Structure 1
Amino acid sequence: MPTGRRIVLFDLFGVIALHQRPGALAEMAERCDAPEDAFTEAYWTLRPPYDAARQSAPQYWTAVLRRLSRPAGTGTIEQLRLADIDSWSRVDDRMVAYARSLRSRAQVAVLSNIPADHADAFGAAQPWLHHLDHVAFSGRIDVAKPEPAAFHHCVTAMHATPADFLFVDDREENVRAAQAIGMTGHVFTGLADLVEIVNLWLPAGTTSSSPTRGVHKGSTLP
């Protein structure tokens, strides 16, 4: 049963933060003298264990370089690691401001797939994260979306029920996973649609005057 609380649970990259900087993978491929297509395939295929804290950064990058038949020297691994962290460092200032403003109307939390070393760097660069009600990074909780345990972590950590949550993510498979455990879900396409969804979801009398558009078909409301 819902507790009557309202918790907006945000994904990070593609929602509040920006996706990886364009051209970053090509630059990393050049650093290790690998074809961009092959580097990109290895980068993403081998990523899940790193995101979920089942591999360290050196273990992940060693696996990537071995897949590419490139030497896995300590210097190369560290260069790639730092370039990778930098490539995921940008935020959408409008979304940061909106998420922070919501705390006057609801609790606000983040659930993001991000390795532990990335999480450390991102948290240090974005102090606003420390003022949210809960922040769950996959590299710190040892499980990544869309695994149900990632969502259950937030429910347990916030002493809530799934029905208390509106989960916002730009990936439909993650939204469906949240819905499967009983959360309300919204597939993020932009701030205007999100404002409309949040205003509908929050109790009467707590809506904002921000400009809105129609409800996105990826959303489900109770």
Structure 2
Amino acid sequence: MTAGPSGGVTSWLVFDYGQVISLPQPPDTMAAMAAIAAVPPTTFTDGYWRHRLAYDAGCPAEQYWSQVVGRPLSAADPLVAELDLADIASWSHLNPRTVALIDDLAHDGHGLALLSNAPASLAATIDAADWAAVLHHRLFSCRLGLTKPDPAIFAELLRQLGAPATEVTFVDDRPENCQAATDAGLTALLYPQVPTPSRR
């Protein structure tokens, strides 16, 4: 297992998804989705990120995409499904280094979990992925109604793991999320700093 802040052992390793397990979105992502929506790329990009946290917290897809494109869309509008599929695809390029690490950690018997800000459509895709089967817990902001770095999401993580904070190591690419985890008593590693599997 990995060493905790005082040299002890942590029994859970918890990974973020975006830009940790997945690679960053391809550079042409926003332009491609903006073209689908017939919206200027700068307008689309601004709306995409401005409203993203609410989407990750469980906002319905049609509401989110309506805000992004600047016009009302119904749940049945084909554009909602098309943008959702393009969005999922943009976050589905896996980081082979991290996936291999997770496989190694699973082989070594570590407790593994995922804690990610993600909308419902992406969460469902991750749940169905073969690589995710080794994760004992998969916690998503859309299902919790909480987003990182809210301290409450780390309290809920610990509740679901059934573990004290001193037995949990958390890996994320955002400093503010790592700081919130540290404030909650977890050991936090800023990606690409990652735990190393033990070798028997």
State the TM-score bracket (shorter-chain normalisation).
0.7 to 0.9
**Is residue 143 of structure 2 the alignment partner of residue 161 of structure 1?**
no
Shift of 1:139: 1.4
Structure 1 length normalisation: TM-score?
0.79
Once residues 181 and 75 of structure 1 are traced to their aligned partners in structure 2, the CA distance between those partners, rounded to angstroms, is 42
Q: Percent of aligned pairs with the same residue?
A: 36
Choose between structure 1 and 2 for higher RCO, CA contacts under 8 A separated by at least 6 residues.
Answer: 2
SS of the residue corresponding to residue 168 of structure 1 reads: strand
* Superposed counterparts of 1:44-63, under 5 Å: 44-53=49-58, 55-63=59-67
| C-alpha distance in 1 between matches for 2:113 and 2:72 | 40
Which residue does the alignment assign to 1:65? 69
1:213 aligned partner: none
When Rg is computed on C-alpha atoms for both structures, the one with the higher figure is: 1
1:131-170 counterparts in 2 under 5 A?
A: 131-170=134-173
Q: How does 1:19-168 map to 2 (within 5 A)?
A: 19-53=24-58, 55-66=59-70, 70=71, 72=73, 74-103=77-106, 104-124=108-128, 126-168=129-171
Partner-residue secondary structure (3-state), 1:111 = strand
TM-score (norm 2): 0.87
CA contact (8 A) 2:63 2:73 kept: no
Rounded Cα–Cα distance in structure 2 between residues aligned with 1:98 and 1:180: 26
Encode CA deviations 1:57-85: one digit per residue, 9 max, x unaligned: 1111112222xxx4636122222121111
Backbone CA RMSD of aligned residues: 2.1
Distance in 1 separating the partners of 2:133 and 2:199 = 24
> Unaligned regions of 5+ residues in structure 2, if any?
1-5
Q: Which residue of 2 aligns with 1:212?
A: none
Shift of 1:144: 1.1
Structure 1 residues 105 and 78: CA distance shift in structure 2, 3 A: closer
Distance across 2 between alignment mates of 1:71 and 1:109: 37
Please give the residue correspondences for 1:174-185 in structure 2 after superposition, counting only pairs within 5 Å. Answer: 174-185=177-188
| Deviation of 1:133 (Å) | 1.7
Question: Do the aligned partners of 2:10 and 2:169 also contact (CA within 8 Å) in 1?
Answer: no
Q: State the match for 1:186 in structure 2.
A: 189
Paired with 2:164 and 2:185, the residues of 1 have a C-alpha distance of 8
Cα distance in 2 between the residues matched to 1:145 and 1:33: 31
The AA in structure 2 aligned to 1:121 is T
After TM superposition, give the deviation of residue 5 of structure 1 in Å: 4.8
Count of aligned residue pairs for this structure pair: 191
CA distance in 2, matches of 1:57, 1:6: 36
CA deviation string 1:9-64 (max 9, x = no partner): 111111111122221110111112211111101100011111011x1111111122
SS in 1 for 2:147: coil
